[in-house]
């Protein structure tokens, strides 16, 4: 697991690493030469290099206008991310997972106290972490080999990018898209008897 200083973990736990306390002002059109997501490629080599909130969505995602309404051009941003190499995407997702699993473990072992871990609630929470760690190992192996399914990798990469911006609602939206897709859920998708329902083939499309 990732080794970090007690002070860093304590600060992360106190801040929540998930509560976005910054003000989200209205986005502005990016001038030429501003930072893009490509500037962050290769920046992180280990979990210690990874700092949540080191980027701002209004500086990385272009603001477009349609029908006199401004909106963040997430589609263009996602296309830029998908162009990054498999090696870069796999490395960032792997580092992110290890970082979060490490913070979770440290918050349980050091943040909550030994007495709490002996309670039924503490044992349950520690068991959840251990189960998650076992279940995520196959993902680690595929990320190390660069053999993860491209569609899944692209989605995980975008989830991590939004989390790095502390845009957790958008990260959740990408997770739901990965989990159930965007296509309307077909009626009667389960198989009954020996015949397969016609809508079942669409259940796996995004």
Is 41 a domain residue? yes
Are 157 and 81 in contact by the 8 Å Cβ rule? The answer is yes
Is 12 a domain residue? no
Is 81 a domain residue? yes
Find the distance separating the first CA and the last CA of the chain, reported in whole Å: 34
pTM above 0.75, yes or no: no
pLDDT band at 94 (very low <50, low <70, confident <90, very high): very high
pLDDT tens-digit map of 166-186: 889 999 999 999 988 776 666
Q: How many domains does the chain have?
A: 1
Is 189 a domain residue? no
Is 202 a domain residue? no
Instruction: Give me the pLDDT at residue 183, please.
Output: 66
Cα dist. 77→36, 43, 104, 124, 180 in Å?
9, 18, 30, 40, 22
CA 85 – CA 73 distance, rounded (Å): 22
The Cβ of residue 112 has, within 10 Å, a number of other Cβ atoms equal to: 16
The residue that leads in pLDDT, 36 or 94, is 94
Q: Which residue range is the domain that position 142 belongs to?
A: 24-180
Is 18 a domain residue? no
Q: Mean per-residue pLDDT for 87-103? A: 93
Are 44 and 80 in contact by the 8 Å Cβ rule? The answer is no
């Amino acid at each position: 697991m990732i080794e970090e200083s007690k002070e860093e973990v304590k600060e992360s736990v106190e801040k929540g690493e998930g509560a976005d306390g910054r003000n989200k002002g209205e986005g502005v059109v990016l001038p030429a030469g501003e930072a893009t997501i490509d500037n962050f490629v290769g920046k992180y080599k280990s979990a210690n290099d990874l700092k949540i909130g080191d980027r701002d969505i209004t500086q990385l995602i272009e603001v477009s206008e349609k029908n006199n309404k401004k909106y963040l051009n997430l589609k263009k941003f996602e296309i830029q991310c998908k162009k990054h190499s498999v090696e870069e995407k796999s490395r960032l997702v792997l580092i992110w997972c290890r970082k979060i699993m490490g913070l979770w473990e440290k918050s349980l072992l050091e943040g909550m106290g030994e007495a709490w871990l002996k309670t039924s609630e503490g044992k349950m929470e520690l068991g959840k972490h251990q189960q998650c760690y076992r279940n995520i190992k196959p993902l680690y192996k595929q990320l190390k080999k660069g053999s993860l399914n491209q569609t899944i990798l692209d989605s995980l990469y975008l989830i991590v990018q939004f989390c790095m911006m502390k845009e957790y609602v958008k990260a959740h939206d990408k997770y739901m898209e990965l989990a159930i897709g965007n296509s309307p859920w077909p009626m009667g998708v389960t198989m009954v008897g020996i015949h397969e329902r016609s809508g079942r083939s669409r259940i796996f499309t995004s």
